[in-house]
Amino acid sequence: MASSLTAQISCGTQPSAPSFSGLRRTCPKLDAAVSFSHRVNSSIRLVSSSHRSPRGVVAMAGSGKFFVGGNWKCNGTKDSIAKLVSDLNSASLEADVDVVVSPPFVYIDQVKSSLSDRIEISGQNSWVGKGGAFTGEISVEQLKDIGCKWVILGHSERRHVIGEQDEFIGKKAAYALSEGLGVIACIGEKLEEREAGKTFDVCFQQLKAFADAVPSWDKVVVAYEPVWAIGTGKVASPQQAQEVHVAVRDWLKKNVSEEVASKTRIIYGGSVNGGNCAELAKEEDIDGFLVGGASLKGPEFATIVNSVTSKKVAA
């Protein structure tokens, strides 16, 4: 079964439903009960959400503003980034979206000095404490000094390539928040973990490491990025993403507070592009996106930012 699922994902097609959801192994009768309960709860939440926000935006379980981040990773040159900044400056962006871009460290100053104030700047990583004799690291204080408002922490490439552990990532988040930076806190499962029905377990464990460490959730955005979808062109279906986002919000409600669950933006990342963002954005618990490759194309990134219109209704 695992090899069959892998083959279908490799071909870019949606796999047929296996005997388990890919989240947790369950029984059919319980699945039916949970499905009915979820439909009822979703209907109740959708109605009640209209009373929380006067912004004319529906299909958002959380009360926070739509959030779109662009992670440029280890890409770009001075010339290509100048072109990208020019494209972003000339783009027409919806007003009711928080927009953040995360250039490579060496280009942050160039971007900050030339990019419109409409878009905030994020670091791609930061050290776990105050700077000092830590070769190759970037401190929170340095990110703030150069004009960053955010930092991405816990990205799968830091977890699975560099080897950062949950507890270490949680401590990094706590320090960044204590110094006034916002944190884009990344979580997500690998393919073999989804196939084993461990999606929730993995995501909750990663969430717990943040919850155990952070002093406040006021400036935390949670980014769900299934590792098997990052940079592969294999995007999770809107339904697959939504079911994890629902579970994350419910975990926050049960383990942190109802207020944090409502206020915290839960965004999706994993091969988001101009062609699939509108359908993803329609899902109630998808509060925005963390974008990789498509964020290197100004017009396409603008399309993703403007997918907030998929949540709007006529006045």
pLDDT in tens, 157-205: 999 999 999 999 999 999 999 999 999 999 999 999 999 999 999 999 9
Quick one: which of 201, 205, 198, 194 has its CA closest to 169?
Answer: 205
The pLDDT of residue 7: 38
Tokens 């939504």 — which residue?
Answer: 242
The pLDDT of residue 315: 25
CB-CB neighbours of 43 under 10 Å: 10
Rounded CA separation 94/133 (Å): 43
Using an 8 Å Cβ cutoff, are 221 and 183 in contact? yes
The pLDDT of residue 235: 81
Which residues, 6 or more positions from 55, have their beta carbon under 8 angstroms from its beta carbon? 65, 96
Using an 8 Å Cβ cutoff, are 308 and 281 in contact? yes
With a cut of 50, which residues of the chain have pLDDT below it? 1-21, 25-58, 313-315
Using an 8 Å Cβ cutoff, are 99 and 119 in contact? yes
Rounded CA separation 220/199 (Å): 21
Stated pTM of the model:
0.82
Which residues, 6 or more positions from 71, have their beta carbon under 8 angstroms from its beta carbon? 102, 124, 152, 155, 269, 290, 291, 292, 295
The pLDDT of residue 59: 57
Structure letter (DSSP) for residue 141: H
The pLDDT of residue 50: 32
Catalytic residue of the set 120, 155, 243, 300: 155
Tens digit of pLDDT for each residue in 81-114?
999 999 999 999 999 999 999 999 999 999 999 9
CB-CB neighbours of 226 under 10 Å: 29
The pLDDT of residue 122: 98
The verdict on whether 155 is a catalytic residue reads yes
The pLDDT of residue 312: 74
Is residue 27 within a helix (H) or strand (E), and if so which, with residue range?
none
Structure letter (DSSP) for residue 296: G
The pLDDT of residue 121: 98
Catalytic residue of the set 225, 243, 284, 300: 225
Rounded CA separation 150/109 (Å): 14
Helices (H), the chain: 2-10, 28-49, 78-90, 108-114, 140-145, 156-157, 166-178, 191-195, 199-213, 238-255, 258-263, 277-281, 298-305
Is residue 25 within a helix (H) or strand (E), and if so which, with residue range?
none
Amino acid of residue 259: E
The pLDDT of residue 182: 98
